[in-house]
Amino acid sequence: MRKKKNTLTITQVAQEAGVSVQTVSRVMNNYEYVADGTRQHVQEVIKRLGYRPSGIARSLASRRSYTLGLVTSDLSDPFFALVAAGAEVEASRNNYFCILSSTERNLDDEARYVRMLTERFVEGIFLARPSTIYDDDHLAELIANGLPVVTTAYHLPASNLMVVDVDNVEGGYQAVAHLTRLGHRDIAMITGPMAYKSARDRLEGYCKALAEHSILYEEARVVVTDGWHYEDGYNAMNRLLLQPVSFTALFAQSDEMAIGAIRALKEAGKHVPADVSVIGYNDLDVSTYYDPPLTTIFQPKREIGVLGVQLLIQAIEHPGSVKGEFLLKTHLVERESCRRLE
Amino acid sequence: MRKKKNTLTITQVAQEAGVSVQTVSRVMNNYEYVADGTRQHVQEVIKRLGYRPSGIARSLASRRSYTLGLVTSDLSDPFFALVAAGAEVEASRNNYFCILSSTERNLDDEARYVRMLTERFVEGIFLARPSTIYDDDHLAELIANGLPVVTTAYHLPASNLMVVDVDNVEGGYQAVAHLTRLGHRDIAMITGPMAYKSARDRLEGYCKALAEHSILYEEARVVVTDGWHYEDGYNAMNRLLLQPVSFTALFAQSDEMAIGAIRALKEAGKHVPADVSVIGYNDLDVSTYYDPPLTTIFQPKREIGVLGVQLLIQAIEHPGSVKGEFLLKTHLVERESCRRLE
DNA sequence: TTGTACGCGTTATCAG
DNA sequence: CTGATAACGCGTACAA
């Protein structure tokens, strides 16, 4: 469909104001070297006519789009929703736009999206999604292409690839160290799928904390799930209860899984924290109001989005000035789901 | 910063292929009237050179951007996060892009965003946010301007303004009717702020259900909150417990508030549903795993996003072909937080 | 079926 | 300080 559009162009403003288009352009862009009188007059005409420049024409001429691609795996995951929220706010604060692309369905889509985004106007891409094993040819292609890319949970040496994430090794360590501090030694764990870097990192933190206290790693105490959700934690706990091992504490790698696990424990007649102490990971809103209020590891979610966009913009406006990996710190949030072992 | 960019233009492809730019353009856009041989040859050259057209130049020439503005109040609200997710997926399915704008901080921002969006490339705007009382001059301006607009929870007669939302009157009715069906007559309610249309609509549904059973509306049984969150429900329940009224059931206008209220009830030594039956609204993921599992009213969240974008695209591609209000239906999800009154 | 020439609305260049 | 004029990269009548 052919849009008639508000065909009010810079040329008409120039005519109406009796100046050249260039002068109008200069006024629009707050250039120096334009007489105060001229400026005011032009501004007045712009206002009177209600002139709005075309961002597209502007982009074409200036070769700048001020647009970022925000590729997120799934907004239904509160973690990524908050990362996205942080990213958008920071972008907007810097007068950038965010084009949203969720790759919910399958990761092959990501390649398609990224291609469409670059065909379009994007000056940089923020990949906010968990890292699993997947085809990253398109990522390599982008990077080779020189487009600044910020990603969570990934590794690939390249000058214009930046990683921003949570320090999950440290986070896992904090969780388990808290448990050991409370006197626990038989500590079970429900992990996310091993395809996820975050799951492997938290596992590493778990092992590190155990090692520090000379606690043997007991495979039967660790259950790997297919996902990170309530039902995964619920099912995992039911499996765990079948194992011929005892445990006085549980580290669930997500608050969702912690809650699912607690539900399974309750159904099995076990009390939290009386019989089993449970610590989660992420710090959801609901965790404060769960029964019992969930002790957990807080992750700075919005901050990831904010920092990611800051890095991206920095890389766009000053190529080569930033690179590397940026890990944000987690911290313990004590509530009532863990107790000291007498 | 001046980007060198992949200055691989259609002209170069044309030269390389020994044809005119127009032929390349025709091939790119799958036009008819191109000899098969020519088409294949051009396609081969395009592939070999790795040519990607510039979306910006394309937009400028064709006056189409295939971009939608997605204005959402706050991605940290799971409701709107899911609406946004649905919207994005549907947009992408139709080869449209979504520019994300969250107006988290204050509603004045919305005007600014909307202005920036239109200055830019947006062909339509989807306002996915609760309706409160706010300055809607910019909305009226947009509509007057002829830009298709879809919004949730709002009313304004205009040919190119479409509303897509949940039928909250019916939803509120379903919740309370369920309670009366179980024999309850003393039904308390915790509502969201009255500035929200959704809160007022659910209140209307509440009143309707009461009226049907000749139950008197008792003001002391209704608590209005400042928000929709866990703590609001928690505080509201504590206030309610101070009132000189009894109640055997509670309708909380959001699952978050229901959960907060249950927590307050527990702290007050009351059991759910033994002492008080509680029904929520929305059906969060966590509600299934709460203790007790929460009976609630399900809202089709993603569907709102999907439908909103469908309407928007329809309005863009066939102006005037759609208009009006589209209300999606809620339904009851029975779990364990309500019991039959003996 | 293919090519030419112009337009889209703005910024950049370079004189003046 | 200001103004022509040339890009920017592609779509589109119109002509061939």
What are the mean pLDDT values of chain B's consecutive 10-residue runs (342 residues total)? 58 86 87 82 88 87 89 88 94 90 65 68 87 64 79 70 93 98 97 93 98 95 96 98 95 98 97 97 97 97 97 90 90 98 86
Our measurement of CA B23 to C1' C1, in angstroms, reads 10
Is the Cβ pair A88, B82 closer than 8 Å?
A: no
pLDDT at position A110 is 62
Strands of A187-191's sheet in order across: A222-224, A187-191, A249-252, A277-279
pLDDT at position A143 is 73
Q: How many CA atoms lie less than 13 Å away from A245 in the CB half-sphere?
A: 21
Mean pLDDT taken over chain A:
89
**Closest C-alpha to A28, from A64, A67, A54, A66:** A54
pLDDT at position A181 is 97
Residue B332 bridge partners (DSSP): B297
Taking a C-beta distance cutoff of 8 angstroms, is the pair A195, A133 a contact? yes
Cα–Cα dist B16/B42, whole Å? 9
Looking at the partner chain, which of B64, B81, B230 has a beta carbon nearest the beta carbon of A75? B81
Q: How many CB atoms lie within 10 A of CB A174?
A: 21
**Closest C-alpha to A307, from A121, A167, A210, A185:** A167
Buried b / exposed e over A85-118, threshold 16 CB at 10 Å, is bbbbbbbbeeebbbbbbbbbeeeebbbebbebbb
pLDDT at position B15 is 84
Assign 3-class secondary structure to B204-243. HHHHHHHHHCCCCCCHHHEEECCCCCHHHHHHHHHHHHHC
Share above pLDDT 90 across residues of chain A, in percent, rounded to a whole number: 57
**Closest C-alpha to B98, from A135, A72, A1:** A72
At residue A42, what is the residue type? V
- Taking only the tens place, the pLDDT of each residue in A186-231 is 999 999 999 898 999 999 999 999 999 999 999 999 999 999 999 9
pLDDT at position A2 is 34
Q: Which residue is nearest to nucleotide C11 (CA to C1')?
A: A61
Residue with tokens 């968990």: A130
Taking chain A, what is the end-to-end CA distance rounded to the nearest angstrom?
75
**Closest C-alpha to B129, from B100, B157, B158:** B100
Q: Would you give the DSSP letter of residue B31? A: -
Cα–Cα dist A95/A157, whole Å? 30
A residues 200..239 contacting B (CB < 8 A): 229-230, 234
| Cis peptide bond prior to B53, omega within 30° of 0 | no
Footprint of strand C on the protein (CB under 7 A): A 5, 7, 9-11, 21-22, 25, 28-29, 51-54, 57-58, 60-62; B 18-23, 26, 32-35, 37-39, 57, 60-61, 63
Looking at the partner chain, which of A63, A88, A120 has a beta carbon nearest the beta carbon of B5? A63
- Taking only the tens place, the pLDDT of each residue in A151-189 is 888 766 666 789 999 999 999 999 999 999 999 999 999
- Going by pLDDT thresholds of 50, 70 and 90, the confidence category of residue A130 is confident
Cα–Cα dist A237/A243, whole Å? 10
- Taking only the tens place, the pLDDT of each residue in A138-153 is 677 777 777 888 988 8
Q: Is A74 on the interface with B (CB under 8 A)?
A: yes
CB burial of residue A273 (10 Å; 0-12, 13-18, 19+): buried
Cα–Cα dist A101/A113, whole Å? 7
Q: Is B15 helix (H, G, I), strand (E, B) or coil?
A: helix
pLDDT at position A324 is 85
Q: Which residue is nearest to nucleotide C7 (CA to C1')?
A: B61
pLDDT at position A294 is 98
Our measurement of CA A147 to C1' D8, in angstroms, reads 20
Cα–Cα dist A316/A308, whole Å? 12
Residues 6 or more apart whose CB falls under 8 angstroms from that of A183 comprise: A340, A341, A342
Q: Which residue of B lies nearest to A115 if distances are taken between CA atoms?
A: B52
At residue B158, what is the residue type? A
Query: Which of the residues A7, A80, A97 would you substitute to probe the B interface, choosing the one with the greatest number of B C-beta atoms within 10 Å?
Result: A97
Cα–Cα dist B198/A103, whole Å? 31
Cα–Cα dist A13/A43, whole Å? 10
- Taking only the tens place, the pLDDT of each residue in A305-332 is 999 999 999 999 988 888 888 999 999 9
Token digits for A340?
């000291």
Q: Would you give the DSSP letter of residue B295? A: B
Q: Tell me the average pLDDT across A33-51.
A: 88
pLDDT at position A60 is 86
Cα–Cα dist B72/B94, whole Å? 20
